[in-house]
Structure 1
Amino acid sequence: MRRVVFRRGWLCGLCAILLGVLFAMPADAAARRVGINARAAVVMDAESGTLLYSKNADLPLYPASTTKLMTAILLVTHLNPEDPVYVSEEAARQPSVRLGLKPDTTITAEDALHAVLMKSANDVAYAVAQTVGGSQEGFARMMNLKARLIGCTHTNFVTPNGLHEDEHLSTAHDIALILREALRHPRIVAALQTKQYTVAGKTFRNGNRFLYLEAPPFGEVIGGKTGYTSKAMYCLAFAARQDGRVRISVVLGAPRKSLMYRETRRLLEYAQQDARVQLV
């Protein structure tokens, strides 16, 4: 019987090829391995902008109220905390979820910021749009310009609150870029981390369930924004600090609210534990 002899150099070459295949595995395959039911999802390293995992990262979808992250960015860059935000009759008539403000009244920009991010108040988001942009259309132009400036390539905003419009679209990757930009503003971070707030005698709690976890398994909670419409389904853009690095997770189009949270947690835990991830 002939003995088959494997030379050391040949074995090293084979190992190198196998490792190359492993590390070249598409990010979408990694996302499928952790069981993502949402239509699109990403995990981004906020410092480098590297996508650690993705599924349909650039697929245009309805972003629902994750839209309000961009509304918040324009609010804090154009209004001081005590500046007035005017609530018109058109703003007051926006569909639920509403804070329920009376027409022809004002609230401060800081109160508006908390109502938009914590309560996801559609009436307040519309009031911000009219105050900052003059109209919903004018504000949408500002939103889209800002989106392009921060690197979004598949985003077209029509409304300030994410209520359904056929042409109101974004992607998991673009929403991650928008949340990364939002986290650069301390006023936004403070609002995302606030659990309870009162505006015009109306007290509300933050709608993000992760904020109430005592010992999150995926790192330190920074905050995020939820969203839902019947066509967008359940969406969540969320940020956590893991071993000194900020990771941003975006889930769009989850079929159930429980899956939205479960898959966000699953992606962040995978990002924290996977030793193969090499950040730029």
Structure 2
Amino acid sequence: MKLLHFVSLFMQRARLKLLFLGVTMLAVPVASTAPVYASDRVFLNAKSAIVMDADTHQVIYAKNPDLQLYPASTTKLMTAILLVTHLNPKDPVYISKEAASQPRVRLGLKSGTTITADDALRAVIMKSANDVAYAVAETVGGSQQGFARMMNLKARLLGCTHTNFVTPNGLHDDAHKTTSRDVALILAEAVKYPRIVAAMQTKDYSIAGKPFHNGNRMLYVTNTTYGQTIGGKTGYTSKAMYCLAFAVKQHGHTRVSVVLGAPRKSFMYRETRRLLDWSYRDKAVQLV
């Protein structure tokens, strides 16, 4: 009898263990065949970011790509496009009193002077000179308002659907807004012009005895892990925060990266490099 009781008790306990094991197994989720590890996540502090193929406009990565934000001096990419499509390299750009009085950053030319369009292009791209960008607007468009209409028309032709330009230099205006997707489309157009690329890649220049350096730190990176540098444009205002549009060659393709609204300059550069590094490796990544 004792033996039968023992066997019965053993069988009951065995059934309970099997039942518990079965419930436990049902409660554990099945592991994914392609798990996302912590190292596969790209954490972005920027408000908006995108990586796009410049030729096909295929979006590779994006975070809030259609969120309207202030673009700061990435605006000057459109100013550069209109400059090279309307002015020859030696054409004069007149510095008016209004242009000379634009807020910093300025090249610091006196009103009533002229510089060549090629010099103006380098001042706009390399120095991010607000006075020269305004002078380009007056020379090409007749006024800031006329130039803004040209900027917005060109933006529409490029497929930009959330952009409204007011200033030629990106100085703050509440109505002056765009998106990372639209800036990517503008940069993809800008790098088609050899004159603009030459200005983007120039490290040192001098106009009227005023020497300056290219302010884009990405230009000085050697042995990159994200392809061959083409160039781009930085931007900053207190409301826009730090912005960077940058283009590279990857696997025979031109790819453009845009970061808008980064809270620190170091984040702007680091997150641009991180996005382009992932793009170069063609690795699936989760944006956070």
Task: Please give the TM-score of this superposition, normalised by the length of structure 1.
Answer: 0.87
In structure 2, how many angstroms separate the alpha carbons of the residues matched to 1:92 and 1:275? 48
Residues in 2 aligned to 1:33 and 1:66: alpha-carbon distance in whole angstroms: 27
Paired residue for 1:136, among 144, 160, 171? 144
Q: Secondary structure at the match of 2:175?
A: coil
Q: Which aligned runs of 4 or more in structure 1 are off by greater than 6 angstroms? A: none
The residue number in structure 2 matching 1:105 is 113
Q: Does 1:216 align with 2:209?
A: no
Amino acid at match of 1:144: N
Residue 238 of structure 2 is matched in structure 1 by 230
Give 1:245 shift: 1.2
Residue 42 of structure 2 is aligned to residue 34 of structure 1: yes
Amino acid in the other structure paired with 2:175: E
Asked if residue 65 in structure 1 is aligned to residue 48 in structure 2, the reply is: no
Whole-angstrom distance in 1 between the partners of 2:213 and 2:166? 27
For the pair 1:92 / 2:100, whether they are aligned, the reply is: yes
The reply to whether residue 160 of structure 1 matches residue 168 of structure 2 is yes
1:108 maps to a residue whose letter is: T
Deviation at 1:276, TM superposition (A): 4.6
User: Please, which runs of 5 or more residues in structure 1 have no aligned partner?
Assistant: 2-17, 26-31
The residue aligned with 2:270 is 262
1:56 correspondence with 2:64 = yes
Query: RMSD of aligned C-alpha atoms?
Result: 1.8
Distance of 1:206 and 1:33 partners within structure 2: 32
* Paired residue secondary structure (1:137): helix
Counterparts of 1:33 and 1:141 in 2: how far apart (Å)? 41
% identity of equivalent residues: 71
Query: How far apart are the structure 1 equivalents of 2:218 and 2:67?
Result: 26
CA distance in 2, matches of 1:216, 1:107: 35
Alignment-mate amino acid for residue 209 of structure 1: R
- Cα distance between partner residues in 2 of 1:199 and 1:221: 25
Q: How many matched pairs?
A: 252
Question: Which moves more between the two structures, 199-208 or 156-165?
Answer: 199-208
SS in 2 for 1:154: coil
Amino acid at match of 1:188: I
Counterparts of 1:137 and 1:223 in 2: how far apart (Å)? 29
- C-alpha distance in 2 between matches for 1:112 and 1:75: 9
User: What is the aligned partner in structure 2 of residue 203 from structure 1?
Assistant: 211
Q: Which residue matches 1:188?
A: 196
Residue deviations 1:99-146 (CA, integer Å, cap 9, x gap): 000001100000000000000000000000000000000000000000
**What is the distance in 2 between the residues matched to 1:239 and 1:68?**
15
Task: Report the residue type matching 2:70 in the other structure.
Answer: Y
Matched residue of 1:191: which SS? Answer: helix
Paired residue secondary structure (1:224): strand
Structure 2 counterpart of 1:215, one-letter code: N
Aligned to 1:78: 86
Q: Deviations over 1:204-243 (max 9, x none)?
A: 1100101111211111110000000000000000001112
In our comparison, the structure showing a higher alpha carbon Rg is 2
**Paired letter, 1:167:** A
Paired residue type of 2:50: V
- Whether 2:177 is the aligned partner of 1:173: answer no
SS at match of 2:133: helix
In structure 2, C-alpha distance between the alignment counterparts of 1:189 and 1:154, rounded to whole Å = 25
In structure 2, C-alpha distance between the alignment counterparts of 1:271 and 1:246, rounded to whole Å: 11
- Partners of 1:94 and 1:167 lie apart in 2 by 19
Aligned match of 1:127: 135
Alpha-carbon distance between aligned partners in 2 of 1:67 and 1:33, rounded to the nearest angstrom:
30
